[in-house]
């Protein structure tokens, strides 16, 4: 079973997260941030990841600490669940349309986390959610997971659609990258013999 449980408690957030990579796409999400709940539910469904999340954060200040710390925990969970990364496909990519929006996502489970966005989100808010927090989430996730993640907006006018497209595209490309390749027979997909 490729799974992980992460608990993180700071003065700003108290988080419990459980991840199953080979799941059915079930998301039980309670972050305290409605828009993020929506995005992570979509992430679980489109990635076929089972994801349980409970967070109590200092959202009376704003949503920043909650969003970033959940990105940290989800990244740590991916890293732990992947272990030595034996037999994984390693790379994934998808171009995902959502109405007028078109998002390209590409990932390399390289062990060298980095987030490389090219996004033009036209508003500062979706409801009460600060749209700049999307990038904060993915930067924390990529750093902690050791995954190189590119998100590129090829088209898009609606901020909700752009952010949602990013979460769906990332989920689908990660689903491919973490999947097991029967031809690898448990090998680590690197000439170095390690992905770290």
Q: Which domains does the chain have, with CATH numbers?
A: 3-184 (3.30.230.40)
Residue 103 has pLDDT above 90, yes or no: yes
| Mean predicted lDDT score pLDDT of the chain | 95
Task: Express each pLDDT in 22-76 by its tens digit.
Answer: 999 999 999 999 999 999 999 999 999 999 999 999 999 999 999 999 999 999 9
CA distances for 129 relative to 51, 135, 151, angstroms? 21, 13, 20
Please give the pLDDT value at position 184: 82
Residue 40: strand, helix, or coil: helix
| Residue 175 pLDDT class (50, 70, 90 cuts) | very high
**Rounded Cα distance, 56 and 145, in Å:** 22
pLDDT at site 191? 65
Strand, helix or coil at 67?
A: helix
**The model's pTM:** 0.96
Phi-psi region of 81 (alpha: psi -120 to 50; beta: other; left: phi over 0): alpha
Which pLDDT tens digit goes with each residue over 142-163? Answer: 999 999 999 999 999 999 999 9
The pLDDT of residue 64: 97
């Amino acid at each position: 079973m490729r799974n992980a449980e992460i608990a993180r408690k700071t003065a700003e957030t108290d988080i419990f997260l459980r991840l199953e990579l080979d799941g059915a796409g079930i998301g039980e999400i309670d972050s305290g941030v409605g828009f993020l709940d929506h995005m992570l539910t979509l992430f679980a469904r489109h990635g076929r990841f089972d994801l349980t999340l409970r967070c109590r954060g200092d959202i009376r200040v704003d949503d920043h600490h909650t969003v970033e710390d959940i990105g940290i925990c989800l990244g740590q969970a991916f890293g732990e669940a992947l272990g030595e990364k034996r037999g994984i496909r390693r790379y994934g990519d998808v171009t995902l349309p959502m109405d007028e929006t078109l998002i390209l996502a590409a990932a390399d489970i390289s062990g060298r986390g980095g987030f490389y966005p090219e996004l033009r989100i036209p508003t500062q808010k979706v409801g009460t959610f600060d749209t700049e927090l999307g990038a904060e989430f993915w930067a924390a996730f990529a750093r902690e997971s050791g995954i190189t993640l590119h998100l590129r907006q090829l088209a898009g006018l609606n901020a909700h659609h752009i952010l949602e497209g990013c979460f769906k595209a990332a989920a689908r490309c990660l689903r491919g990258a973490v999947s097991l390749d029967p031809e690898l027979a448990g090998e680590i997909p690197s000439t170095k013999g390690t992905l770290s």
